[in-house]
C-alpha cells in the first residue's frame, strides 16, 4: 500500500506539509508506521496542488524515484504554497512497473486522484472504462489509473467528488473487489474512502488533513472507520458510512 495525503485550508508550503512533520509523508516513504501491506514506499511519488489565481487545473509533479532521492523536489517544496494539495508515495503492486506514469496523483481537468490499495482483477475493471477515453492517464499500466478513469467518467456525468469515489468502489466490488482507499480533489474540496486500509483526519485551526497515517504524534488525529467516505469542503469535514 502506498501512503497518501490531502490538505484543504490556508495556504501552506509543500515542504511544511509533506516534509517537515516528525513522521511526514516524506519519512513514510521509508518508515511508515501504520502500513498494512508492503514495507517501504520507494517506487515513485507525486504531489499535486492548486493555485487558483493562475488556473483552475492543478500543477502536478511526479517522479519514478523515491522521494528521498529527488533533491529537485526538496529544493522547490519550501517555495511553493497552496491551500489544496494531494500527495502520495508509492509502493508498486507486483506486476505494475515503477514508472512515473503510474505514480499518483493522476490528473485530468481540475481533478487530482490517488489510490492506496489494489484491485483484484484489473482486466475486469479496465473493461468498465470507455474505449475512446480522452483521459489518457487512465490508460497507464497500473490498476489505480483505471480507477481514476472510472472516477472521471462519474464526475463528468455530474457526480459529486465523494459520490464519484463511492461509485468507483461499488463498480470495483462488482468486478472482483480489492482494497480501495481513494483520495481526490477538485481544488475546492477533498474526498476520500477508507476501504481496506488505514485513513486518518486531522482538523487544524486553519485546515483539514486526510492521510493514510498520522504525520505526527498529535492526539487530534481521528481514525476513520473502514467502509467510510470522508468529504472536506469550506463547511468542514463529514464522515459517512458507505452502504455496500
Ligand atoms: N496498486 C497501486 C500501485 O501499484 C497502489 C499500490 C499501493 O497502494 N501500494 O501503484
Of 2, 14, 145, 199, which is the active-site residue? 2
Our answer on whether the CB atom of 38 is closer than 6 Å to any ligand 1 atom is yes
What are the C-alpha distances in Å from 70 to residues 46, 87, 92? 11, 15, 18
Ligand 1: residue of 63, 94, 96 to mutate (most ligand atoms within 8 A of CB) is 96
Q: For position 181, what pLDDT does the model report?
A: 98
What's the pLDDT tens digit per position in 126-145? 999 988 889 999 999 999 99
Our answer on whether the CB atom of 116 is closer than 6 Å to any ligand 1 atom is yes
Does the domain made of 3-241 have the CATH classification 2.40.50.140? no
Our answer on whether the CB atom of 64 is closer than 6 Å to any ligand 1 atom is no
Q: How many angstroms does the Cα of residue 115 sit away from the middle of ligand 1?
A: 7
For residue 1, pLDDT beyond 70: no
C-alpha cell at 75: 529544493
User: What global pTM score does this model have?
Assistant: 0.97
What's the pLDDT tens digit per position in 170-193? 999 999 999 999 999 999 999 999
Q: Where do the domains of the chain lie?
A: 3-241
On whether the CB atoms of residues 212 and 195 are closer than 8 A, the answer is: no
Whether residue 195 lies in the annotated active site: no
Nearest Cα to Cα of residue 171 among 200, 130, 211? 130
Amino acid at each position: 500500500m502506498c501512503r497518501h495525503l490531502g490538505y484543504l485550508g490556508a495556504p501552506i508550503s509543500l515542504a511544511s506539509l509533506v516534509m517537515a512533520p516528525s513522521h511526514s509523508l516524506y519519512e513514510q516513504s521509508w518508515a511508515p508506521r501504520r502500513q498494512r501491506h508492503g514495507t517501504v514506499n520507494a517506487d515513485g511519488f507525486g504531489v499535486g496542488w492548486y493555485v487558483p489565481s493562475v488556473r483552475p487545473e492543478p500543477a502536478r509533479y511526479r517522479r519514478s524515484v523515491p522521494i528521498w532521492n529527488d533533491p529537485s523536489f526538496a529544493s522547490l517544496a519550501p517555495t511553493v504554497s497552496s491551500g489544496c494539495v494531494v500527495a502520495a508515495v508509492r509502493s508498486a503492486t507486483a506486476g505494475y512497473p515503477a514508472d512515473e506514469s503510474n505514480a499518483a496523483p493522476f490528473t485530468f481537468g481540475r481533478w487530482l486522484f490517488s489510490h492506496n490499495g489494489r484491485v483484484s482483477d484489473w482486466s475486469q475493471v479496465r473493461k468498465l472504462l470507455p474505449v475512446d477515453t480522452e483521459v489518457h492517464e487512465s490508460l497507464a499500466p497500473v490498476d489505480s489509473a483505471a480507477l481514476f478513469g472510472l472516477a472521471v467518467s462519474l464526475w463528468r456525468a455530474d457526480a459529486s467528488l465523494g459520490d464519484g469515489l463511492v461509485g468507483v468502489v461499488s463498480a470495483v466490488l462488482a468486478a472482483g473487489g480489492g482494497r480501495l482507499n481513494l483520495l481526490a480533489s477538485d481544488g475546492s474540496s477533498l474526498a476520500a474512502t477508507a476501504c481496506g486500509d488505514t485513513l486518518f483526519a486531522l482538523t487544524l485551526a486553519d485546515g483539514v488533513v486526510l492521510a493514510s497515517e498520522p504525520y505526527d504524534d498529535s492526539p487530534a488525529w481521528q481514525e476513520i472507520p473502514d467502509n467510510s467516505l470522508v468529504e472536506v469542503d469550506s463547511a468542514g469535514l463529514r464522515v459517512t458510512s458507505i452502504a455496500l
